[in-house]
Amino acid sequence: MASCEVLFGSLSDMESLPEQGSDWSVVRVATLNGRRVIVKEQTKEPGRLEREWAVINGGFPSVVEGIGIAKDGDRRLLVMEEALPLPRQVSQEKAQEFANDLMIVARRLYLAGHTWVARPKHVGIGTDGRIRIFDFNDDDVRRDVFLPEDEFLGLNVRRLIDDLCVGWGYDGKLVAQGAFDHLVEDEYRELVNVHQPICFSQYGHFMRRDLDTKKVAPANRKCKDRLGMMLPFLGKGAGRTHLDIGCGVGWFVFQLEREGFVSSGVEYDREKVEFSKMLAGWYKHPVEFETASVDLDYAQSMPEYDVITALSVLHWCLYDSPSGSGQYSVGMGMDKFIQFFRLLCEKARQAMVFEIPVHAMRKLGASNAKELGVFAVRHGGFRRAQVIGTSIDAKRPLIGCTK
């Protein structure tokens, strides 16, 4: 966004804020057209001013409003709305509101690749009584997973919330957990084309936005029925490796990790992967998630796993996804799909479980579930394939295959 020029001469009553700034910047308050504003000058790397301006005008919630850039000879100063000091005391309800806002803005900045150092001096109150955060002149940092307790550069939102709450006389850990729960609900609701519930029981009632109606509604996949069919077939995890293809928000990845598998997932939708990583990081589950399109090249280069699951996903490799479906697949055609299926099955050392809808079964020349198992044996190199159940919600057969 292009910056708006502020006439330096229109800034008056300028006073230093010694508690703000650093060796890299000087922060002052001033008056602009009768309004109190913050004026910030980068003293060592002036180029950082443009990065900070981009963050301030990036449409992020709870970020101070950018007013413009003032020039005084070679000096360039960032002008933004004044953030008032935090109150000495707030109600517990207000403390939770502040924490919710802090958690969400830190997450939004992370997803956009920006860094905000979560320190009390970088938090204030806007004229509307809501949280405002400022000071975004640090180098952009891209972490592999959003961790609000990250010690790197002091990016510790959880600790910040805890410190603020201690001063107000509240349980900071409880408030931080409430803020994370609020973030999970908010982000899950806005994910596109979500069928799975969140696997953590405290979030099982959360709603997601239905792709067709655009209304919030419960997840349309039960998932527990499929798990109940798979576990007797797969047996105990006992440290065996597992990959879930098209893992969505990670329901089966987390569940099989709980059953003793070294579990991971791959999903083409980066937002779902980031969401799953966030849950894994907060609750410290040793699972991995990868953003990738599972195609012929992926199947050729992927490592082997003891167990592979592919639930209601392989048919998107067979033909193009319909317009408006929320899927982003380009069909391979029958010959390449068979090659892809064979390569994928080769990477399953012990077993594979998959399901596809009836219309895709017919495309593969299978008129029923038993014939789909025959297809898996013929083209996947399995010793045996059997129907281990039928999903309650989609009425799709689950095919369990063993080497």
What pLDDT sits at residue 147? 67
Residues 157 and 137 sit within 8 Å (Cβ to Cβ): no
Residue from 338, 351, 257, 340 nearest 293 by CA:
340
Dihedral angle sign, alpha carbons of residues 215, 217, 219, 225: negative
Rg for the chain, CA atoms, rounded: 26
Alpha-carbon gap, residue 217 to 208, rounded angstroms: 6
Q: How many CB atoms lie within 10 A of CB 103?
A: 26
Residue from 211, 167, 162 nearest 191 by CA:
211
Angle at 152 between CA 151 and CA 156, to 5 degrees: 45
Would you put residue 222 in left (φ > 0), alpha (ψ -120 to 50) or beta?
alpha
Residues 123 and 131 sit within 8 Å (Cβ to Cβ): yes
Alpha-carbon gap, residue 394 to 33, rounded angstroms: 63
Residues 96 and 175 sit within 8 Å (Cβ to Cβ): yes
What pLDDT sits at residue 185? 97
How does strand 123-125 pair with strand 66-72?
Answer: unpaired
What pLDDT sits at residue 327? 57
What pLDDT sits at residue 143? 58
At 345 the three-state DSSP class reads helix
Structure letter (DSSP) for residue 86 = P
- Show the domains of the chain with their CATH numbers: 5-81 (3.30.200.20), 92-190 (no CATH), 220-402 (3.40.50.150)
What pLDDT sits at residue 1? 47
At 379 the three-state DSSP class reads helix
In this structure, what is the dihedral angle of CA atoms 369, 375, 381, 386, given to the nearest 10 degrees?
10
Name, in order, each residue with C-beta under 8 angstroms of 165's C-beta and a sequence gap of 6 or more.
Answer: 95, 99, 171, 172, 175, 176
| 390 beta partners | 397
Structure letter (DSSP) for residue 94 = H
User: Both ends of the chain: CA-CA distance in Å?
Assistant: 57
Q: What is the mean pLDDT of each run of 10 residues along the chain (403 residues)?
A: 81 88 84 94 82 89 94 91 93 97 92 82 92 74 61 70 95 96 96 93 91 83 94 97 97 98 96 95 95 94 98 86 59 88 97 94 93 96 97 94 97
